[in-house]
Structures are given as structure tokens and as C-alpha cells.
Amino acid sequence: MTTDEKAGGFRYQEAESAFPYLSQLIGGYMHQDMDIEYDSISDAVAGFAEIALPQERAGVKNDLERLSRRHNEEPDVFHEYFGADLDLAAIGVSFEDFAAMVIRVVDDPAAAKDFDI
């Protein structure tokens, strides 16, 4: 049994390899205790963006762009990779809206206030 199978079918290892910067953002900032540190997901992204190196911010955007292309072909791919930490369907947010928010807030952390995510 692989680590991913033990983790309820979520593809953690593959996600970390294929999307390392996005994995770092989600695993480090959007976990089950996120609400203790941040008021919203967009605030968590801003927290990341404020301390991240330029190459880390660029890496998140590149990972999201590549994941967006995969999402067009495999609509459940985000959930399969990151659903244990961040279940977009459960919070009523589309992948497209989430990706657009992250890309904007990574570029401009002050933009977090413009989102209700």
C-alpha cells in the first residue's frame, strides 16, 4: 500500500512532486487550523505572499497555470491532490475562482480584502 493509498486516496506525493509550490502554500497555510491564524483563505494566501521569495510566488502561479490545464481535462484533479487540506466544493468555491484569487493575491497581498473566499 502506498502512502497515497493510506491517506484516503489523495495523491499527496504526486502533488508535491508535480506542484511543489502550490503544495507548500496549501499544506503550510490552508490546513485544518488555518482559521486560528487567518480570517479567510485569501488572508492565508496573503500571509504566504508577504514572506515568500519571488521565485516561490512565481512558482505558485506556474503550478496553478499547469494545474488549470489539467483541470480542464480532469475536473476532479484539484480535489484528488489537495482535497484533504482544502475541499473547494465543501466551501462553495470553484477551482477557477480559487485559482484567480491566488494568482491575484500572490501578486498583491493587499488584494486579499477584495475576495470573499
Return d(Cα 21, Cα 70) in angstroms, integer.
Answer: 16
Residue from 61, 67, 57 nearest 17 by CA: 67
The pLDDT assigned to 6 comes to 37
The pLDDT assigned to 10 comes to 62
The angle at the Cα of 51, spanning 50 to 53, to the nearest 5 degrees, equals 110
Q: Where in 28-94 does DSSP place strands (E)? A: none
Segment 39-93, tens digit of pLDDT = 999 999 999 999 999 999 999 999 999 999 988 888 888 888 887 778 888 889 9
Q: In which band, very low, low, confident or very high, does the pLDDT at 104 lie, cut at 50, 70 and 90?
A: very high
Return d(Cα 28, Cα 25) in angstroms, integer.
Answer: 5
Residue from 93, 41, 99 nearest 65 by CA: 99
Q: Is the pTM of this model over 0.75?
A: yes
